[in-house]
Amino acid sequence: MPVYASVIIDIALEKLDRPFTYIIPEGMYAEEGMEVSIPFGKGNTVRKGFIIGISDKADLPDEKLKSIISVSERTVNIEGRTLALAAWMKKNYGGTLITAMKTVLPVKKKTKELNYKTVHRLAASERIKSEAASLNPLRYAARIRLYNALLSADALPEEMIKDKLNVSASVLKTAVKDGIIEIRSQRRFRMPLPAENRYGNRSELNEEQQAIVDAICKSRSEGDLRPALLHGVTGSGKTEVYLELIERIVSEGRQAIVLIPEISLTFQTLMRFYARFGERVSVMHSRLSDGERYDQYERAKNGELDIIIGPRSALFTPFEHLGIIVIDEEHEGSYKSEKMPKYHAREVAEYLAARDDALLVLGSATPSLESYHRTQTDEYRLFSLKSRYGAAVLPRVHIADMRKELKNGNKGFLSGKLMSLLTERMLKGEQSMLFINRRGVAGFISCRSCGYVVNCPHCSVSMTEHKDGFLHCHYCGEKMSKPRLCPKCGSKYIAGFRAGTEKMEEELKKLYPSARILRMDADTTKNKDDYEKILSSFADGEADILLGTQMIVKGHDFPNVTLVGALAADMSLNLSDYHSAERTFQLLCQAAGRAGRADKKGEVVIQTYQPEHFAIRLASEHDYEAFYEQEMGYRELADFPPVCHLMTLQFYSSDPDAAFKRAGKIAEVIRAMKGEVPEVIGPAEALVGRIRDVSRVGLYVRHKDLKVLHRVKDEAEEAEKKLAMERGAADVMLQFDLDPVNIF
Ligand code: ADP
Ligand code: ZN
Ligand code: ZN
């Protein structure tokens, strides 16, 4: 019985061909990713190609197929492996092979010669030190930042200084004029060079850290390559553990991929890697041009790099001997792609690690339920760092019950507790961060007297207010009118919660006329540098209070911040999404992680209308395990991931009826599938039913066995192709989202 290979001929990066099917002759060994010679076209010219898939079925009868001539001497090479990866992505997440390939391969464009600018230190460090000390920190904050950076590195990419340190071109110009630095331009990208004395800079691990590194290395040497989940509270030293593991594996001649959410790619984090590994590190970020990205890809392929740091797309770096993948803050939503193929970095990393016998290390203070669940089923190994490094301790957390505040006549945004702690900070000259959790602010209805939230009678999720003035359940379609009075306590303070950061700022200014307040939200971060500007100005001590949306709590380290206030912490509990308790818990723990990072002790105030909610209570106690137990209980009851798998089929069309109709037809196809059939929910209008005049309709399927969902995807794609070909068929686009991070 013949076996077939799909072969891609010539990967010209601009134009990707479709695969062709060939017979693998008996006795020939072939696997995905191998380079093969095949006869092609009418004249059967011999061409090179890559196997991207193997199957025992073919789309054409045998007599119409040709056979592979030979397998290349070289075993699987980088291009071949990349193609096999694309094929795997297509199989898992749907869409076309071409889209998958464009995801994993950089675009090769004819770009003009690239020029990289590097800032080199000219002056001696003594001079820089004394000048930094003599500058007025309020007037010359940016220059001081530059000088401090030059003390830890002899050379830095100009872009990093501008982007991450927020040092302007004019400050650089002055420094050039003063003979402090020199800016050189090169064709090749050069990494920053750590100052001589910092090279190979490493910290002595403490006992807990060392034990983890040893345990991971030991099981690795015994052939246990299960992924490791590193659960460590914020500031416990997870990064030190990554650095040590990476150094060991790199010293064996293998390479490392480190994924970090873009938002926490700070100067400090980067410098820790540079100081240790120097120019063998490269950083990938969303602002690289296509040319720079391609350049980086080539350097990795040519063995000029050992370590790449970046967001999820850094996974596609073509290393010859990948040895370790680290995913820091593994619970972050940004690891899931929102574009087809909608892959999750963790799953792709698992695939790569298994393929290359590499180690996969996931780290978080608040692991995703998915990952922690896998430690309970022994698919992952669990390692914990229980306390903060050194003398730092976790902050004390207060819960402020906003229902009581209202009862006591406080109609403002701030609880009595938060006000008194804020005042204290102002007197002591310490900094505070206040954030409004705006996630889920879109439309849920709650009572400010008793905390009651209008829920769907059938679905245990909150109802959302739509433009038609009615409340809708987005899971089952239930529709009801908005109550005038609270059904529970009769209060008239029942409404959609709309608290804006701008309004908060006004209020704060009234309460603290002398306070210097910085605001960070979508309105104040319209330009690409605004974000870094606000953060560095806060870090330089130019404000007492940083006020913003939840974007301010992620990954930043401000040693002088000793108070964090979470306003309306429960807002995200009311999302019509089964992740809402988990998201809230994570956010509050991360926020708490911002307070008291250095030697000063921190405090946190969580303001809420639902103080008894377990996600809030357990976040205030820093108790992840208890949270996991309780939340898993709910997921089991309601049959949500990680207990089962969920897939959304997303239908987009400019004609809402067409999207509904198509979804209905596909639903029939799925229900009529042979063998195991998943539960099918919908079609239903998506949470956001229309974006830019495109209607969105969702079909939700779930089943314990991932293979069943893969089959659903295949059959749906097949059926969709046929439906789209029908005469007069409307234009409908179908996308798949497996185990969605955001509810469609
Ligand atoms: P996490 O990644 O878990 O938030 P970090 O690795 O950033 O924690 O460590 C928190 C702080 O403690 C950092 O400032 C780091 O330099 C310091 N630290 C952690 N481990 C060590 C160590 N073994 N020696 C010296 N400093 C350490
Ligand atoms: Zn009420
Ligand atoms: Zn419902």
At 442-489, the pLDDT tens digits run 567 888 788 888 887 776 567 777 667 788 776 667 888 989 899 999
Give the amino acid at 315. Answer: L
736 closest CA partner among 649, 635, 654, 657 = 649
- Evaluate whether 183 touches 122 at the Cβ level (below 8 Å): no
Residue nearest to atom 18 of ligand 1 (CA): 237
Residues 60 and 165 in one domain: no
Residue nearest to atom 24 of ligand 1 (CA): 203
Which of 208, 239, 271, 366 maximizes ligand 1 atoms within 8 Å of its Cβ, making it the mutation to test the pocket? 239
pLDDT class of 108 with cuts at 50, 70, 90: low
Q: Determine, yes or no, domain membership for 45.
A: yes
Counting atoms of ligand 1 from 1, which one is nearest the CA of 234? 4
Nearest ligand (C-alpha, residue 491): 2
Residues 220 and 360 in one domain: yes
pLDDT class of 709 with cuts at 50, 70, 90: very high
Helix ranges (DSSP H) in 481-527: 501-511
Residue nearest to atom 26 of ligand 1 (CA): 203
- What residues have a C-beta under 5 A from ligand 2, the ion? 447, 449-450, 452, 486, 488-489, 491
* Centroid of ligand 1 to alpha carbon of 205 (angstroms): 9
Query: Which residue ranges have their beta carbon within 6 Å of ligand 1?
Result: 203-206, 209, 232, 234-240, 389
Residues 131 and 216 in one domain: no
* Centroid of ligand 3 to alpha carbon of 661 (angstroms): 21
pLDDT of residue 289: 74
- Evaluate whether 512 touches 422 at the Cβ level (below 8 Å): yes
Q: What is the DSSP letter of 445?
A: E
The span from the CA of 143 to the CA of 620, in Å, is 39
The span from the CA of 118 to the CA of 599, in Å, is 35
* Centroid of ligand 2 to alpha carbon of 485 (angstroms): 8
Average pLDDT, the chain: 85
pLDDT of residue 34: 77
By residue count, the chain amounts to 744
368 closest CA partner among 646, 638, 741 = 741
Counting atoms of ligand 1 from 1, which one is nearest the CA of 203? 24
Is the pLDDT reported for residue 546 higher than 90? yes
* Centroid of ligand 3 to alpha carbon of 37 (angstroms): 57
Question: Percent of the chain, pLDDT > 90?
Answer: 39
* Centroid of ligand 2 to alpha carbon of 452 (angstroms): 5
- Compute the C-alpha angle 661/664/670, nearest 5°: 145
What's the distance, CA 630 to chain centroid? Answer: 25
Residues 430 and 532 in one domain: yes
Q: Determine, yes or no, domain membership for 257.
A: yes
Is the pLDDT reported for residue 13 higher than 60? no
Q: Which domain holds residue 153?
A: 114-188
pLDDT of residue 137: 78
pLDDT of residue 500: 64
The span from the CA of 572 to the CA of 593, in Å, is 19
pLDDT class of 51 with cuts at 50, 70, 90: confident
Is the pLDDT reported for residue 109 higher than 70? no
User: What are the tens digits of pLDDT across the range 557-594?
Assistant: 788 899 999 987 777 776 667 888 999 999 899 888 88
Domain boundary (104, 132, 165) is at 104
The span from the CA of 382 to the CA of 230, in Å, is 6
Question: Strand ranges (DSSP E) for 473-539?
Answer: 479-481, 494-496, 517-520
pLDDT of residue 75: 55
Q: Are strands 732-738 and 645-653 parallel, antiparallel or unpaired?
A: antiparallel
Residues 427 and 559 in one domain: yes
The span from the CA of 416 to the CA of 407, in Å, is 13
pLDDT of residue 14: 45
User: What are the tens digits of pLDDT across the range 616-630?
Assistant: 999 999 899 999 999
Domain boundary (595, 610, 635) is at 635
pLDDT class of 308 with cuts at 50, 70, 90: very high
The span from the CA of 1 to the CA of 533, in Å, is 65
Question: Percent of the chain, pLDDT > 70?
Answer: 90
* Centroid of ligand 2 to alpha carbon of 447 (angstroms): 5
Supply the CATH number for residue 665's domain.
3.30.70.600
User: What are the tens digits of pLDDT across the range 518-534?
Assistant: 998 777 877 777 888 88
Residues 140 and 215 in one domain: no
Residues 731 and 611 in one domain: no
Q: In which residue are the tokens 């293998």 written?
A: 254
- Evaluate whether 619 touches 592 at the Cβ level (below 8 Å): yes
pLDDT class of 551 with cuts at 50, 70, 90: confident
pLDDT of residue 452: 86
pLDDT class of 270 with cuts at 50, 70, 90: confident
pTM of this structure: 0.83
Range with the poorest average pLDDT among 345-354, 544-553, 624-633: 544-553
Q: Determine, yes or no, domain membership for 14.
A: yes
Counting atoms of ligand 1 from 1, which one is nearest the CA of 240? 6
pLDDT of residue 735: 94
Count each helix (H run) and each strand (E run) in the chain, helices first: 21, 32
The span from the CA of 675 to the CA of 688, in Å, is 34
52 conformational bin, left if phi > 0, alpha if psi -120 to 50, beta if neither: alpha
Q: Report the C-alpha dihedral over residues 504, 509, 510, 515, rounded to 10 degrees.
A: 140
Residues 288 and 412 in one domain: no
Instruction: Give the up-direction half-sphere exposure of residue 294: CA atoms within 13 A in the CB hemisphere.
Output: 15
pLDDT of residue 474: 65
* Centroid of ligand 2 to alpha carbon of 484 (angstroms): 11
Q: Could you tell me which residues are beta bridge partners of residue 229?
A: 362, 382
pLDDT of residue 440: 43
- Decide: helix, strand or coil at residue 310: strand
Residues 402 and 369 in one domain: no
- What residues have a C-beta under 5 A from ligand 3, the ion? 456, 458-459, 473, 475-476, 478
Q: Are strands 322-328 and 359-364 parallel, antiparallel or unpaired?
A: parallel
* Centroid of ligand 3 to alpha carbon of 472 (angstroms): 8
pLDDT of residue 187: 66
pLDDT class of 290 with cuts at 50, 70, 90: confident
pLDDT of residue 40: 85
pLDDT of residue 441: 47
The span from the CA of 640 to the CA of 578, in Å, is 7
Domain boundary (158, 188, 218) is at 188
Q: Determine, yes or no, domain membership for 558.
A: yes
Residues 531 and 624 in one domain: yes
* Centroid of ligand 3 to alpha carbon of 471 (angstroms): 11
Which of 327, 389, 394, 600 maximizes ligand 1 atoms within 8 Å of its Cβ, making it the mutation to test the pocket? 389
Q: Determine, yes or no, domain membership for 484.
A: no
Instruction: Give the up-direction half-sphere exposure of residue 296: CA atoms within 13 A in the CB hemisphere.
Output: 28
pLDDT of residue 111: 55
Q: Determine, yes or no, domain membership for 468.
A: no
Q: Is the pLDDT higher at 28 or at 363?
A: 363
Q: Are strands 603-608 and 396-401 parallel, antiparallel or unpaired?
A: parallel
* Centroid of ligand 3 to alpha carbon of 146 (angstroms): 55
- Decide: helix, strand or coil at residue 71: strand
Q: Please give the backbone phi and psi of residue 437, each rounded to the nearest 5 degrees, phi first.
A: -85, 100
Supply the CATH number for residue 78's domain.
3.40.1440.60
16 closest CA partner among 97, 78, 89, 111 = 97
Residues 240 and 346 in one domain: yes
- Arithmetic mean of pLDDT, 133-138: 84
How many domains does one find in the chain?
5
Q: Are strands 322-328 and 70-71 parallel, antiparallel or unpaired?
A: unpaired
The span from the CA of 477 to the CA of 470, in Å, is 12
| C-alpha torsion sign, points 626, 629, 631, 634 | negative
Nearest ligand (C-alpha, residue 684): 3
- Evaluate whether 377 touches 582 at the Cβ level (below 8 Å): no
As given in the structure block, the two tokens for residue 424 are 């204290």
Residue nearest to atom 20 of ligand 1 (CA): 237
The span from the CA of 701 to the CA of 673, in Å, is 13
Q: Determine, yes or no, domain membership for 475.
A: no
Q: Determine, yes or no, domain membership for 703.
A: yes
Give the amino acid at 614. Answer: F
Q: Is the pLDDT higher at 448 or at 206?
A: 206
Supply the CATH number for residue 376's domain.
3.40.50.300
Residues 614 and 687 in one domain: no
Residue nearest to atom 19 of ligand 1 (CA): 237
